[in-house]
Chain A
Amino acid sequence: MKELMKGNEALAEAAVRAGCRFFFGYPITPQTEISEYLARRMPGVGGVFLQAESEVAAINMVYGAAGAGARVMTSSSGPGISLKQEGVSYLAGAELPCVIVNIMRGGPGLGGIQPSQSDYFQATRGGGHGDYRLPVLAPGNVQEMVDLTGLAFDLADEYRSPVYILGDGAVGQMMEAVELPPDCSAGPAKSWAANGCRGRGKNVITSFFMEAADLERHNLKLQEKYRLISSRETRGEGYLTEDAEVLVVAFGTTARIAKAAVKAARAGGVAAGLFRPVTLWPFPAEQLQQAASRAGAVLTVEMNYGQMVEDVRLALQCRLPVHFYGRGGGMVPYAGDICNQIMGLGGDDHGYCGVKPA
C-alpha cells in the first residue's frame, strides 16, 4: 500500500528500513524534516538520534559510528555540507561506509533556501582535500528518495565508502505517494570494525600514512576501488531517446520538468528525448552515448549555471554540440522555457546546424 509522504520524511523512513539506527545531524533548511522525523522514529526502534553541536561534529560522530561498524547517516544542505568536508575526506580516506544526504539549496555563501543543484561539482569531485570520489545518487521523485536510500546503504557497505544522496529542496519538500520497502537487516558483518578486539588482533581505523610510499599504495587501492565502482554502478534512465534529434540531459527535479518540456516539444514537431543520470558519479557516460546516438544536438538543463554539462561534454567527446540552459539561486526552470530552448535547436524552422553552443 502506498503512503503519502514528504520527500525528506520518506528518505528518513527508508533509512530506518535499511537498517540505519544511528543519525547525527544539525538543523538546516530545506532538510530539517529528516532530523525531526528521525528524532521521533529512532527511539522506537532502539536507535540513536543525536543533534550535534555542529555539522563538523555530526560528520565526525558519523565517522566514529561507522568505524564501530554501524549503518549510520547524516544529512544537511549546501552550507552544512561544506562544513562537513573535512570529515568526508577522512571517511573516504579511512574507507568508512555511511550515507550523507545533501538536500541542495541555492548558493554560494549562505545563499538561500530554495531548491538548487549548484553542489554538483562539490559532490562529484570529492569536495574535501585529497584524491577521492564518492558514489552520488540523484533522486528525481519521492519514490526515488526511498529507493536510492536503500541502495546508498548497500553501496556504502559493499565498497566501504561514504555515499552521497544529492537531492534538492523541491524533491525534499514535495509530497507524493510512495511504496516503502520492508525492514531489512543492519547490513553485512564488518570484520574490520574497531569495536573491541576480543578474540582477534586489533583493528585500526585511520587515513594516516607517514611514509609516502605507503600513502601512494593506499591511494592506488582507493583508485582501484573507484575504477570498480565506475565499471559496475552507473545508472541512468532514458525517455523517448530512440528517435530523439534533440536530447535533453538533466537530473533530479530538473529532469522531471524537462520531461514535460520534451512532451511539449514533440507536440510542437521536434523529436526530443530525455536522458537522466541517476548516478552523478560514476557518470553514466556510455548510457548517455547510447541515448544520444541519433541526436544532432544535446541540451543540458540544470538548476545552476553549468556543472553537469562538463561531464556531458566529456562523455560525448565533442561529437555533438552540447548546449546549456540553467536557472540558479533557487529559481526553478519552467517547462515552457526548456521547450523553447529545444525548439531553438531542432525541427524544420531552425535545425541544430549552425547553432552555437551556449
Chain B
Amino acid sequence: MGIAVSSRPETLTGAGFHYCPGCSHGLVHRLVAEVIDELGLRESTVGVASVGCSVTAYNYFNLDMQQAAHGRAPAVATGIKRVLPDRLVFTYQGDGDLASIGLAETIHAASRGEKITVIFINNANYGMTGGQLAPTTLPGQTTSTSPAGRDVGSMGHPIRMVELLAALDGPAYLARVSTHNPAQVVKARRAVKRAFEAQLKGLGFSLVEVLSACPTNWGLKPAEAMKWLEKNMLPYYPAGEFRVAEGV
C-alpha cells in the first residue's frame, strides 16, 4: 500500500494541460490551485484568464472564471471585485499581456490599490504566437521578431515590472519568484499565498511575478531551459519581495 505524497488539488479540474513539455504554466497553475485549496476559497474565488498560452486557464481551474481581452484582465478583475468585494479575485497573465498591451491597466489597478491579485508569468517572449519579442525579452535575446537578438538601441530595454510597480503607493505585496528548482518553487508557492492574504486582508493590490521557462520558443530542452532561466533571467530579474505592506 503506497502513501500518496501528492494529489490533484480540488481547484484543478483534472483536464490535461495543453502546455508544452517543460513549460512552467502547469506548475504555476498547480501552485495557485493548492493555495486556494489551502485557504478553503475555491467556491468564493473568481479568476480572470488573459490572452496568451494560458487563454483557456478556465478549463483547468475548477472555479468561476472570466476570460479577458488582451491586456485587460486587471480592468476586468476591477469590475468583478467592485461588485463582489468579499470574493478572492485574481488574474493570470503573461508578459506580453501584462507588460505591453496591458501596461496601463496593470499600473492603474496597482496604483488604485485595487484589492486583486495578479499572477504574472514572465517567460521573456510571446509564447502563444510562436516566440516574438516581448517587453521582458532580455538584451541580446533572439526571438522571431528580433532574429539578430534584442538590440536595446532600437528595440528598447526590458521592463522590470515589479520594480516599476514598487514605485507606487497602491500595492500591498509585490514579489518576484522563480521556478527553476524545487526550492524556488516552494518560495513561489509561499509568495502566492502571501499575495492572496494581502488581498483578503483588504490591504491593496498584490502581484507575484513568476520567472518561467518556455523551452519550445527558446529552442531548448526542458532541463536546459531551466538552466538558461537561472543563468540569464535571474541576474536581470532578481527574485525577492519588493513590497510587503504592514499586516501582510
Contact = CB atoms under 8 A, between A and B. Distances in A.
A42 to B, nearest CB: 11
Interface stretch (A33-41, A64-72, A118-126): A64-72
A151 interface: no
Given A50-B78, A202-B63, A206-B58, A194 B46 contact: yes
A224 B46 CA distance: 30
Interface in A65-93: 65-70, 72, 86-87, 90
Contacts of A69: 83
Nearest to A71: B83
Contact of A61 (B45, B64, B65, B76): B76
Contact of B44 (A52, A65, A198): A198
Interface residues of A, number: 40
A58 B105 CA distance: 10
A207 interface: yes
Interface in A248-290: none
A22 B82 CA distance: 8
Contacts of B84: 68, 195-196
Contacts of B44: 196, 198
A64 B66 contact: yes
A196 B87 contact: yes
B153 interface: no
A306 to B, nearest CB: 33
Contacts of B46: 68, 194-196
Interface in B26-59: 42-46, 48-49, 55-56, 58
Given A67-B80, A70-B83, A196-B44, A53 B108 contact: yes
A60 B105 contact: yes
A94 interface: yes
Contact of B104 (A22, A54, A197, A208): A54
Interface string A21-33: 0101000000000
Given A196-B45, A202-B62, A57 B80 contact: no
A72 B82 CA distance: 11
Contact of A206 (B66, B78, B79, B80): B66
Contacts of A48: 82-83
Given A87-B69, A196-B46, A205-B67, A65 B79 contact: yes
Contacts of A61: 75-76, 78-79, 82
A206 B69 contact: no
A288 to B, nearest CB: 37
B83 A22 contact: yes
Contact of B63 (A58, A197, A199): A197
A22 B104 CA distance: 21
A56 interface: yes
A322 interface: no
Interface string B87-125: 100000000000000001100100000000000000000
B25 interface: no
A50 B43 CA distance: 27
B77 interface: yes
B2 to A, nearest CB: 31
Nearest to B47: A194
Contact of B75 (A52, A199, A207): A52
A63 interface: yes
Nearest to B44: A196
A203 interface: yes
Contacts of A210: 56
A68 B42 contact: no
B58 A198 contact: no
A171 interface: no
Contacts of B243: none
A291 interface: no
A64 B43 contact: no
B68 A63 contact: yes
A204 interface: yes
Contact of A204 (B67, B77, B82): B67
A11 interface: no
B246 to A, nearest CB: 26
A70 B48 CA distance: 17
Given A87-B69, A196-B87, A208 B79 contact: no
B72 interface: yes
B76 A60 contact: yes
B67 A68 contact: no
Interface in A202-241: 202-208, 210
Contacts of B76: 60-61, 63-64, 67
A203 B58 CA distance: 9
A199 B65 CA distance: 16
Interface in B216-243: none
Interface of A: 22, 24, 48, 50, 52-54, 56-58, 60-70, 72, 86-87, 90, 94, 194-199, 202-208, 210
14 contacts: A48-B82, A60-B105, A62-B79, A64-B48, A64-B66, A64-B76, A65-B83, A68-B79, A194-B46, A196-B84, A198-B43, A205-B67, A206-B49, A208-B56
Interface of B: 42-46, 48-49, 55-56, 58, 62-69, 72, 75-84, 87, 104-105, 108
Complex A-B, nearest 4 residue pairs according to Cβ-Cβ distance, in ascending order: A64-B79, A60-B75, A65-B79, A206-B67
